[in-house]
Amino acid sequence: MKGLKILVVEDCYLMAAALEDVLTEAGADVVALAPSVAVAMNALARHTIDIACLDINLGSETSFPLADVLALRGIPFVFVTAYNADILPPAHRHRPFVDKTEAYLELVCACWAAASSSVLVVRLADGTVVAR
């Protein structure tokens, strides 16, 4: 994941920071943490984003409008949430989905799958080797 620029959309700061740590340890560059759709849209305007990680429930809103924008722009994304996958709208049911309670390795692998990267083998911070 070295060099991939990632947007993390998560309204819980502690979870956002934990996801940032996971992704950074895997070599990614987390360019923004966004607690809302509005902040995420601002980040999209200011940064080049290779992948976005989206929590579904962002307090009083969902990330589905942002998912629609990302899809239109051709930016891959992964849902990272505590919800079940059956909550996804039909347009996004084929997207990678990670249970945030099991996020570490699952998230890294889902981001690799979503990205159009040439990375074939990666060594994680804990020494684990993952092949794609």
pTM of whole model > 0.75? yes
Confidence of residue 119 (pLDDT cuts 50, 70, 90): very low
**Alpha-carbon distance 70 to 72, whole Å?**
5
Torsional sign, CA 97, 56, 90, 30 = negative
Q: Which residues contact 90 (CB under 8 A, 6 or more apart)?
A: none
Quote the mean pLDDT of the chain: 84
Give tens-digit pLDDT for 52-85. Answer: 999 999 999 999 999 999 999 999 999 988 888 8
End-to-end CA distance of the chain: 11
Helix (H) or strand (E) holding 44: helix 37-46
Average pLDDT over residues 23-34: 93
Residue with the bigger pLDDT between 42 and 85: it is 42
Q: Domain with 56 in it: what CATH number?
A: 3.40.50.2300
Residue 97's domain spans which residues?
Answer: 5-131
Q: What is the model's pLDDT at position 14?
A: 87
Domain count, the chain: 1
